[in-house]
Structure 1
Amino acid sequence: MELQIRKALESEINILLEFEQGIVDAERPFDNSLKEGEIHYYDLIELIRSDKAEVLLAVINGEIVGSGYAKILKAKPYQKFEEYAYLGFMYVKPTFRGHGINQKILDRLIEWSKEKGMTEVRLDVYAENEIAKKAYLKAGFKPNLLEMRFEI
C-alpha cells in the first residue's frame, strides 16, 4: 500500500463533496441541530484556490481515500498569537481507517502551518466522538474548550 499525500485539485470536487457528506453523516449522531438532507460545511473550491489554505488528499494506488485542510484564521484580540491554523475536512474512507492515514494528513497540514509561520493549530471535535478525540490526543492535541448548548 503506497500512500501519497498531495494537494487537491478543483477537478476532484465531486469526490471532495462525497467526503464532505461522509463527514456530515458521521457527525449527525453527535449533533441533533444539523438540518436534514444534504448540507455543506465548506466552500471547497475557495479553499483549494486560497493561499491562506491547504487542502490535501491521501491517495493509494490512484484512489483518493482521505482528506483534510488547514486554513489560516485571525486570532481573537486577547490571544497571544495574531493568526492560527484551523484544521477541518478530516476524512478517511471507512475501509482505509486504522492505517495511520489521518495522522499522515495531520503531519503534512501541521508542516504547512509551520511554513506559513503559524505557532498554533486548532480543530474542533464533538465531545462524544471518542474515536476522533483519541486520534487527536495521540497526535498531540490537547482539549481546550468545551462548547455547551441548551435546546429550548
Structure 2
Amino acid sequence: MIKLREAKIKDLSTLLEFEKRLIEYERAFTPNLKKSDFNYYDLKSYIKNPEISVVVAEKENSLIASGYALIRSNKTYKNPSHIVFLGFMYVIPNYRGMGVNKKILDYLLDWGKKRGYSEFQLDVYAPNQSAIKAYKKAGFDFETITMRLNIEY
C-alpha cells in the first residue's frame, strides 16, 4: 500500500537523490542545464517551512515519489494575487504509470484548496510529453510557452 505523508528532515538524503535523478532526466529536454552539480530546490528549508508542503509517497518504508506545493505571488497584472506553485514531481522508475504522481498531485491540490487557493501552476519542459499528458489529464492546460534562442558567437 502506498502512503502519502509530509517529508521530514530524515528524508533529505533520499529527496536530494530524487532531485539529482530528476535533473538528469530533464537534461534530455533542455541543452542549457549547467554541467556542474547544482540543485533546483532548497529542500531542507522547504521541509522546515510550514507554508510549503513537501510530500512523499512511501511503500514498505521506502520513499518512491515526491512533490511540493508553495504559495507564490502571481504576476502583478493577473488575478488572483497569489497562486500555488507545484514542483519536484518525481516518481522512481519502477512505480511510474501506476498513478503515484496523481496521488501526490491530488494531495497537493487539496493542500492548496484547504488554504483558500484556487489557482495552481507548474512548469514542464515542452518535450516531456508524458508529463504534459498526465497534467492535462489532471485538468491543467497551457497558459504561456517560454521559447528560447541561443546564438553562440
Mark yes or no: TM-score above 0.5.
yes
Question: Deviation string for 1:124-152 (max 9, x for gaps)?
Answer: 00111111101111111111110000001
TM-score (norm 2): 0.96
Partner AA of 1:60 in structure 2: K
What TM-score, normalized to structure 1?
A: 0.97
Who is 2:131 aligned against?
132
Q: Within 5 A, what are the aligned runs for 1:12-91?
A: 12-91=11-90
Structure 2, gaps ≥5 residues long:
none
Letter in 2 for 1:46: S
Partners of 2:105 and 2:40 lie apart in 1 by 19
| Counterparts of 1:37 and 1:100, CA distance in 2 | 33
Aligned to 1:6: 5
CA RMSD of aligned residues (A): 0.8
The number of residues matched between the two structures is: 151
Q: 1:119 is matched with which residue?
A: 118
Which amino acid in 1 is paired with 2:104? I
Structure 1's unaligned 5+ residue stretches are none
Would you identify which runs of 4 or more consecutive aligned residues in structure 1 move more than 6 Å?
A: none
Report percent identity of matched pairs. Answer: 42
Secondary structure of 1:148 counterpart: coil
